[in-house]
Amino acid sequence: MCKRRAYGTLLLLTSTLVAPAALAQTAPAPAAPPRPAATPQAEADQTNAATPGTTAQEQTTQQATPQAAPEAGVEVSSPGYDAAAGEDIVVVGRNIPNTVRATAQIVSVLSSADIARTGEGDIAGALTRVTGLSVVGGGFVYVRGLGDRYSSSLLNGSPLPSPEPLRRSVPLDIFPTAIVGSALVQKTYSVNYPGEFGGGVINLTTKAIPEKNFLSIGGSISADTVTTSELGYTYYGGDADWIGFDDGARKVPAFIKNAPGGTGIIPTDQVAQLTNANTTLLQRNNQLPANWSGELSGGSVFDFGSDRLGIIASLSASNTFRTRSSTQQDSVSTDGTLRNDFQTLLTDNRIVTNALIGLGYEFGPNTIRSTTVYIHDTLKQARGSSATVYNNSSGLRFQQNTNWFERQLFESQLVGEFKLTDALKFDARGAYANSKRNAPYERQFDYLCSATTTTGLPISVEAPNGSDGAQCNGAYQVTQRFTPFASIIFSELNEDLYTGQGDLSYKLDTERPMTLSTGYFYSDTKRNSTRLQFNYQTAAGGGTAPGYPYNLLRPDYLLGIDSLNANQIQLQFSTPLGAYAYDASLRIHAGYVQAEAEATDGVRATIGVRYETAEEQVTPIGTTTTRLKNDYFLPAATLTYNFANNMQLRASASKTISRPQFRELAPQQFRDPESDRLFFGNPLLKDSELYNLEGRYEWFFARDQRFTLGGFYKEIKNPVEQVGFYTGADDRLQTGFTNLPEATLYGAEVELQKYFDLDFLNSDFFATRRALFIANYTYSKSSITADNSCVPNVLNQTLGGCQAGFGPASLQFRDGASLTGQSDHLVNVQVGLEDTASLSAITLLFNYASNRVTNRGPSNLSGVGFQPDIIEKPGIRLDLVARQGFELVGGKWELKAEARNLTGTRFQEGQTFDNGAQVFINRYNLGRVFTLGLSTTF
């Protein structure tokens, strides 16, 4: 008698054995064909097998129904995956997709087709369409309202380092959709993953072995109604700025690098060696150019008998301008009275280039593959900020900034997947990744508006005020009011990441299918970060500014050779807050064991535990090292009950952790170019621990169509939160970090995906077309606990009898407030029309995120109480994407048109005080963006 093959066989494919991004991997051309399918006899066994939860009549009906077309083959590369295991799967329901059959976890998958439908240019934008996901700060993905520190990003199953000094997780907006074959979000924890798991893991799978040789080329052009052909600021920089690389104009001289070990003073003759006009002269451009992008990719496959060798490569580049005309206000009072009100015009020129090369070799049931990714992302920023209300009666302030932020990511992976016997499988993978962030020549100048010179002479105004918002009834001049009147910053970050992983799985020869698995994971991260700030001053010292008439000069003349020599201008090395450099490291050793089995008919269980030990340390120059050394046992269990035709219930429970990120621990100042705000780390932070519960109902009522309903609950011990603070009455708002005693998060999410055939309309046009409706909604609610427990203070103050640097949470935070970054409501809707026989689709995309806290409100300067939290209002966004394919001159062509932010939603972040007063921390219009693209494949 043949052994019964039932639900437990599914466990061989479960994502608790794999890093599941690869489950949905696709290639630019049709994916490589899967390994040989089940024999006709095996298929017959599947069809005729008794299925729990159905009557004989239902089973007969199911067999009589025509078999749905098989899913497109997916190429899988992840630890422990066994492609042949799916051949014997028996599940009640033919509509359950392979990616769902293959995992006991709760997952959401964006295939290459899904990504194309959204029309987004980067993967962060595409992920906003996934249930429960939102993007904060441009590219950092929040899962169910939990910040990016609670979400990890993987590339083909291997961790990624971050080029951002503020975060350890990688900003996903640096990954163009052109190089991503699929994106998978797993929301329940499985022990093969790193223990740092809170909201979920996002696994990007790069494109791999193509089915046939191909060459693809494409390009696009776009216009932004707020930016294109409108006023913006820029500066010259270097000749190669337009491709995102510095040509040497911003080369950092040795005397700058060596300054911390010297006297701290850079003399005038060396100051004159710094690049001046190219990096200081802010220029008005009344007609900023349109945005453009281009990409080139190709692939080849070679057959050697039954073996296959494949290669795929891609190269792409984009150049984008974005102008923000923003209102930036602040208040240090308890009633919201404005202290400062600035009108800021800021123009970003972002240039991204990336390349990918992949090699794959399949021999028998074994596969070896190599993937190398390079991404270079540059932001050239010009900023002018003019005060309309200022807290100093001597005159209104004007501040100008010119910045260059260059970040780079390189990763090389090698993976081997070996089926040693029919029951024994071994996977090994190793990766090296490097990320860099260089920001040379961050320049800032401060001027005050005055009706008289510093010598008392009157200033007459003949020209009208500028259209960029600058208002001055007199002239702007540098004075000793500011220390410094000008500054320059050179910062560098380098991070190396080495990872290795081995996974072994064995299928037991038992009555009910059972798989035992074990694995080991190693990760070693090292980071070095420096930030060298220099203040300009005259030889008199003390931040003195040049006198009349030099103080009336524009920045490039102010620092020109004549002014430098006449005023003996020098640079003073400065560390305004914290350390100028730090070294950081994180080393992790982990192992896991796991059992998966068919517990009873229709029920599969996955139970495992992970042991993880890690040592994290941050060593700032001149201060004490912060060292966190902890080990944890992290259990996880998941049950899946396939109780009826095409229906499943899932339940999951787990414990996970979250470690403070390097930047959160490092006492070093950093300006975030996205929020235009200063951040500062806190060395007193500690690990967070999370307890997770999850349940979900899934109904796949037709092929590619589903309804899901789920709920979740999380309890977080010692969550890390962002807190606003002022160091003094005249200082700008900054952001620090602290632990809270506890927080809870709970919620529910629902999703529906439905297609409607339109052939009943009796029209040739609609004969092969169908309507698409995809909608998901997530409700979540969070609450922080602010009791008398002692927590780190962002100003390193000692409060309420706590130890040094700590204070009672109740004196610093509002009990019951929401976690930062969490929106109560997230809604995504896609309505479209697509052709099932050819490439032709039009999709309307709706997105809504309700208000969310970005920073805890700063403490009052009196030391008693605190201001309202700073809240962002994302609002509604409406996009339209149309794609049309056609054939011309022997190639397949695609024309794509996009219209983004049709609602003209603006960015708003601010505070609302008890008396109704509003303070806009940052408010600006977001333009409507229109894009036209054309691509072809041969």
Cβ neighbourhood burial of 41 (10 Å; 0-12, 13-18, 19+): exposed
44 against 792, higher pLDDT: 792
How far is Cα 309 from Cα 35, in angstroms, rounded to an integer?
A: 15
Q: What is the pLDDT of residues 172-192, one digit of tens each?
A: 655 656 566 777 778 889 998
Which segment, 152-156, 173-177, 441-445, 473-477, is predicted with the most confidence on average?
441-445
DSSP 8-state secondary structure symbol assigned to residue 118 = H
Contact 312, 322 (CB under 8 A): no
**Which residues, at least 6 apart from 43, have a Cβ–Cβ distance to it below 8 Å?**
none
Q: What is the 3-state secondary structure (H, E, C) of 902-913?
A: CCCCCEEEEEEC
What is the distance between the alpha carbons of residues 275 and 488, in angstroms, rounded to a whole number?
11
Residue 914 pLDDT exceeds 50: yes
Which residues are registered as beta bridge partners of 136? 140
Flag whether pLDDT at 10 surpasses 80. no
pLDDT at residue 241 is higher than 70: yes
For residues 529 and 679, give the distance between their C-alpha atoms in angstroms, rounded to a whole number.
15
What's the whole-number mean pLDDT along residues 650-677?
A: 87
Q: What is the pLDDT of residues 666-675, one digit of tens each?
A: 888 887 777 7
Kindly report which listed range (408-417, 462-471, 567-576, 731-740) carries the lowest average pLDDT score: 462-471
Kind and range of the H or E run holding 56: helix 56-64
Residue-averaged pLDDT of the chain? 83
| pLDDT for 39 beyond 70 | no
Task: Report pLDDT for 198.
Answer: 81
Task: Evaluate whether 523 touches 194 at the Cβ level (below 8 Å).
Answer: yes
pLDDT (0 to 100) of residue 592: 97
- CA dist 460 and 478 (Å) reads 18
pLDDT at site 120:
56
Are the beta carbons of 745 and 716 closer than 8 angstroms?
yes
DSSP, residue by residue, 634-697: EEEEEEEEEEETTEEEEEEEEEEEEPPPHHHHS-BEEEETTTTEEEE--TT---EEEEEEEEEE
Q: Is residue 4 predicted with pLDDT exceeding 70?
A: no
pLDDT value for 676: 74
185 near 108, Cβ under 8 Å? yes
Q: What is the mean pLDDT of residues 739-765?
A: 92
Q: Are strands 875-888 and 840-849 parallel, antiparallel or unpaired?
A: antiparallel
Residues 6+ apart with CB under 8 A from 801: none
- The pTM for the full model equals 0.85
The stretch 537-543 carries a mean pLDDT of 87
Q: How far apart are CA 625 and CA 95, in angstroms?
A: 56
Residue with tokens 């899988």: 76
pLDDT tens string 246-305: 999 999 999 999 999 888 899 999 999 999 999 999 999 999 999 999 999 888 999 999
Average pLDDT over residues 558-564: 96
Residue 825: its pLDDT value, please? 93
Distance of alpha carbon 640 from alpha carbon 379, whole angstroms: 47
pLDDT reading at 463 higher than 80: no
What pLDDT is stored for residue 109 in this prediction?
Answer: 75
Q: CB neighbours (10 Å) of residue 750?
A: 16
Q: What angle do CA 37, 39, 42 make, to 5 degrees?
A: 110
| Confidence band for 20, pLDDT divided at 50, 70 and 90 | very low
Please report how many Cα atoms fall inside a 13 Å half-sphere around the Cα of residue 305, on the Cβ side.
3
Q: What pLDDT is stored for residue 173 in this prediction?
A: 57
By C-alpha distance, which of 132, 108, 126 is closest to 714?
Answer: 132
Q: Which residue in this structure is represented by tokens 């220099």?
A: 534
Domains and CATH numbers, the chain: 220-570+581-937 (2.40.170.20)
pLDDT for residue 911 is more than 90: yes
pLDDT at 712 over 70: yes
Residues 331, 366 contacting (CB under 8 angstroms): no
Residue spans of alpha helices (H) in 131-265: 254-257
Q: pLDDT tier at 38 (50, 70, 90 boundaries)? A: very low
Rounded Cα distance, 752 and 869, in Å: 35
Mean pLDDT over 846-853 rounds to: 91
**215-224, 351-360, 462-471, 832-841: lowest mean pLDDT where?**
462-471
Which of 86-100, 450-464, 866-880 is the most confident on average?
866-880
Query: In this model, does residue 8 exceed pLDDT 50?
Result: no
Least confident of 94-98, 490-494, 526-530, 760-764: 94-98
Rounded CA separation 560/277 (Å): 8
- pLDDT recorded at residue 5: 40
- pLDDT, one tens digit per residue, over 108-166 is 777 766 666 665 555 666 676 677 666 655 556 667 666 667 777 788 888 877 656 55
Using omega within 30 degrees of 0 as the cis cutoff, is the peptide bond preceding 484 cis? yes
Asked if residues 369 and 361 have their Cβ atoms less than 8 Å apart, the reply is yes
Tell me the residue ranges of DSSP E strands in 704-741: 705-717, 720-725, 734-739
Give yes or no for a contact between 403 and 383, defined as CB atoms under 8 angstroms apart.
Answer: yes
Question: Residue 92's pLDDT is what?
Answer: 61
The pLDDT score that the predictor gives to residue 654 is 96
From CA 730, how far away is CA 861, in angstroms rounded? Answer: 11
* Residue 43: per-residue pLDDT: 37
Q: Which of 418-427, 450-459, 592-601 has the lowest mean pLDDT?
A: 450-459
Banded model confidence at residue 2, pLDDT cuts 50, 70, 90: very low
Strand, helix or coil at 927? coil
d(C-alpha 49, C-alpha 63), whole Å: 10
**Do residues 593 and 639 lie in contact, with contact meaning Cβ atoms separated by under 8 Å?**
no
Strands 291-304 and 214-224: antiparallel
Place of tokens 């399918």: 37
CA distance 644 to 7: 13
Cis peptide leading into 549, omega within 30 of 0? yes
Gap between the Cα atoms of 339 and 932, Å rounded: 45
Residue entry with tokens 């007459």: 460
> Judging by DSSP bridges, how do beta strands 514-537 and 581-600 pair with one another?
antiparallel
500 or 75, higher pLDDT: 500
- Residue 157 class from Cβ within 10 Å (0-12 exposed, 13-18 middle, 19+ buried)? buried
pLDDT at 802: 93
pLDDT of residue 145: 61
